[in-house]
Chains A and B, each alone.
Chain A
Amino acid sequence: MSGTTRQIVEDPRTPRPGSREPRDGQRPAAPRTSPPGSKRPRVSAATLGIPLAYLAVTVFGVWWIDIRPAAVAAGFGDIARLLERMVPPTTGPVSDLLTLALETLWIAIAGTGLATIASVFLAAAASRHFTGPKLVRWLAQGIIIVTRAVPSLIFAILFVRIFGLGPLAGGLAIAVHSIGMIGKMMADVFEEQSPSPREAIASVGASRLQNFVSTTLTRALPAVTSLVIYRLDINVRASAVLGLVGAGGIGVALQTAIGSLNYRRAAGIILVIVALLLILELVAYLVQRAVAEHADEHTQSQLHVAGSTPAAPGWNRSRVLRSAAAVSAVILFLYSLSQLSLNLSRLGQAWNNALALLSGFVPPVFTEEILLGIFESVIMAFTATFFGVLVGLVIAVLSTRHLVRFEPLSLALRGIVVFMRGIPDIVYALIFVAALGLGPFAGFLALSISCTALASKFFTDSLQNIDPAPLRALEATGAGRIQVFVSGVWPQFVPSFIGNSLFTSDLALRESAVLGIVGAGGIGFLLDESVATLHYQQTAGILIGLIVVVVALESVARWARRKVI
């Protein structure tokens, strides 16, 4: 392959010597000088400190929540009686449900697509490798954090004032909130890349844009597509927020069914959602295989074969497939945009309406209750993350090929995780409330299940995207599977393990609205309450609190990444 063409080859170097070493070691500003004489690679403060910090919070959380597994066993009878009321699932006319599911899917695709486009630019600017003005980088990082910290509920009530009731306000609320996650994870992916191709392209005089497209973006594609499809999955599930803007959809139907205790109908709706998620998971799996062929096979991925002239990439079957898939994705996205029904005449008065709403948010009010709510949510989120990460890690290892190569097991596990995800938090909450009564324990269990689903998804994806070159090299020396895992897979996995664990807490913090369902308080309950009773000054206080916590988590994550990447 000609060296002058766009080099899209995964870093072909031999295994990096000691993956814990910073890859971009040439950065002069590396103040962490290790004491002289210590030659052995040291365990970084982040790899040790963060798990220990989690352990500490968990120990406190276990005491604070009063976790007693025996109580669950005592409630089995009540759980069984509740589950009996959920079967057999009823769907009503299936075509109605499918229409609702499609409506939701279109809005989710439009929102996720818009978020993806915005995120490419924001992530590029927010990444540590961005070479433009500092101010732009800070601005991009700020937007990503704020859109992530502020729940889509808030964007929904804002956009409904601007665009009126309907799918447009819902699609945009989904889009803006999604930027926070897609942008963050995309920036992480960009930062994890080895700098060599970028430097090579820069040295031949390519512009920043050319360089970004040909090295950073192309290499990030496998990870980015799976993350975008995952966000789509989240957005389908979280579509109950569309009810706030009168956009309907399947999430609203589910919420209504549960609110009126019609659990059989709820079960039917959940089955439809699970079917939808399974399709998305399958698409994600196929896409990932298509764009990341190197993941399971050889050391080099050749995205493009040589063309007729050395400088032009040629076509082969996989490039045709990739391009066709990309074109269909774009068509789907464009069609979904047409479903948003933009009403331009509404925009005239929109500005005043939005200003009137926003002026209600100042001055923000902080109360002791808000501080307590944040404290409760953080403790619960961390404790739930701890258990979720442990179980999620086991699931992820079993469903990838590194240790166990038994395809049916990995497929079954993937299916189970999708099913687990498809069941909304409130159903878990109800089940545990029946067994345990109201209180933090039931909320903690429900939150742990969603953390498990989150963590196992993140871990599976990053285990799958691991650079196989070092593994093959180790195998060539005769290392066993466990040896390869310990010295080849694990060191590569640690950065994303820590990053994704922190990110799971970040997401769990916002999912902690489930705590309100079981009377365990938390910030989500206060937020809903303040919005429902139109106490927007308190809402503003809560949002600022949320932003502070997310910024703190993000700073720890960034510090950890600097230490371990």
Chain B
Amino acid sequence: MHKSFKTVTALAAASLLLTACGASPNARPDSTGSSSEGPQSLVFAVVPTDDSKELEESFKPIVAAIAKETGLPTSIEAVSSNAGVIEAQAAKRVDVATYGAFSYYLAQNVADVTPVAMDQRTPVAGSGAVQSLGVVAAGSDITELSEVKGRDVCFTDPASSTGYLAAAAGLISIGIDPKNDINPIFAGSHDVAVTQMLAGDCDVAFVAGTFITDILPARGIIKDGDVDTVWTSPDIPGTPMVIGNWLPEELRNQITDAVLKYNAVSAAEAGLCPENQREALAPWGEEYAEKMACEWGGTGAFAFEPATDEDFASIRDICETTQAEVCRND
């Protein structure tokens, strides 16, 4: 008993000692960052998108680029909820953020932000766009979108643009009411929607294209020929990078330039990711073959390209077509 008591006392003393000296690793600067002469530091927030992995790690080179070009210390926060980031933006406490295109649609109603860039998977402009796919089990009697009428349909969740909204707009455009003409089932995630469609819980699943082309085959969850694609949505804009308008214009330009200046390969050459490099991806083409590259954002992008509010108009169109509950802000 004495022994354990002593251990605890020692621990208490040690933690007191530790506390007495040195700043917390989570210490925050005192200024709130909206003064006229500009902030002393920047906060960059990222939200996982459907296919992001090692979120924080993969954004470090971008943050390094921003810190280098602006001269301001930049911290990165990986956040699990889009609402968390958007509310922090509404309170002007997050300066730069990347999240899904639909989150940007929601954010522009409540926060004073502008998109400045969007990701690009290959050197080709616009390659960051994603699609929603309608897939069926191989050999299904459904071969085109109009045949889903009256069937069980798996979606991801009501607030997913690739997992519901784009598909709902597609259904409406051919005269099928996604609420009443089909039996919608929300599976909660893209992979569950596909596996449960294959297991027979529903006849067709609408999910983000990358799950069918890359992620699920790579994980061995589906094999070539397991599923047939019966519908592909129009392009949905990729991941926007959004900056708060409360920052001085010069600083906003510096941040934008920092992000647009590099691509994954030139960032590696500039020494932005000395510890975490990988070989350039095949789709980037001959020019970059066998060169080393940085992880450039959560989606493993090649680079970012300039973007404006206009680039995300298609989300507004989807919302206008579907009049979906999640689009409304009442």
Contacts and interface: CB of A to CB of B under 8 A. Distances in A.
Main secondary structure of the interface of A (DSSP, over half): helix
B91 A532 contact: no
A513 B80 contact: yes
Contact of B26 (A161, A439, A528): A439
A182 interface: no
Contact of B110 (A261, A353, A528): A261
Interface string B296-330: 00000000000000000000000000000111111
Contact of A52 (B9, B25, B93, B202): B9
A75 B1 contact: no
B260 interface: no
Interface in B97-140: 106, 109-110
B91 A525 contact: no
B159 interface: yes
Interface stretch (B184-192, B245-253, B261-269, B278-286): B184-192
Interface residues of B, number: 72
B189 A438 contact: no
A344 to B, nearest CB: 13
Given A49-B4, A261-B109, A262-B326, A59 B12 contact: yes
A406 interface: no
B84 interface: yes
Interface stretch (A119-127, A241-249, A394-402, A468-476): A241-249
A455 B252 CA distance: 47
Given A246-B187, A261-B110, A438 B94 contact: yes
Interface in A211-228: none
Contacts of A81: 90-91
A171 interface: no
Interface stretch (A316-324, A429-437, A486-494): A429-437
A229 B56 CA distance: 41
B189 A430 contact: no
Interface stretch (B45-53, B60-68, B172-180): B45-53
Contacts of A164: 196, 199-201
B44 to A, nearest CB: 10
Given A49-B5, A56-B11, A244-B188, A438 B110 contact: no
B90 A532 contact: no
A518 interface: yes
A165 B93 contact: no
Contacts of A244: 187-189, 192
B78 A519 contact: yes
Interface string A20-55: 000000000000100000000000110011001101
A78 interface: yes
Nearest to B16: A59
A435 to B, nearest CB: 7
A396 B275 CA distance: 53
Given A82-B90, A262-B330, A525 B78 contact: yes
Q: Which of A265, A528, A532 is most buried by chain B, counting CB atoms within 10 A of its CB?
A: A532
Contacts of A439: 26, 28, 77
A207 interface: no
A438 B85 contact: yes
Given A63-B19, A519-B79, A532-B48, A434 B157 contact: no
Given A161-B195, A259-B82, 12 more contacts: A90-B330, A164-B200, A243-B186, A246-B196, A256-B157, A259-B157, A426-B84, A433-B84, A525-B80, A529-B55, A534-B219, A534-B221
| Those 10 A-B pairs whose CB atoms lie nearest each other, nearest first | A519-B77, A437-B93, A516-B80, A260-B326, A56-B12, A244-B188, A60-B15, A63-B19, A78-B91, A45-B1
20 contacts: A66-B26, A160-B192, A164-B200, A165-B187, A243-B188, A244-B189, A246-B201, A248-B186, A256-B326, A264-B330, A426-B84, A433-B84, A437-B93, A438-B45, A438-B94, A441-B28, A519-B78, A519-B84, A534-B215, A535-B53
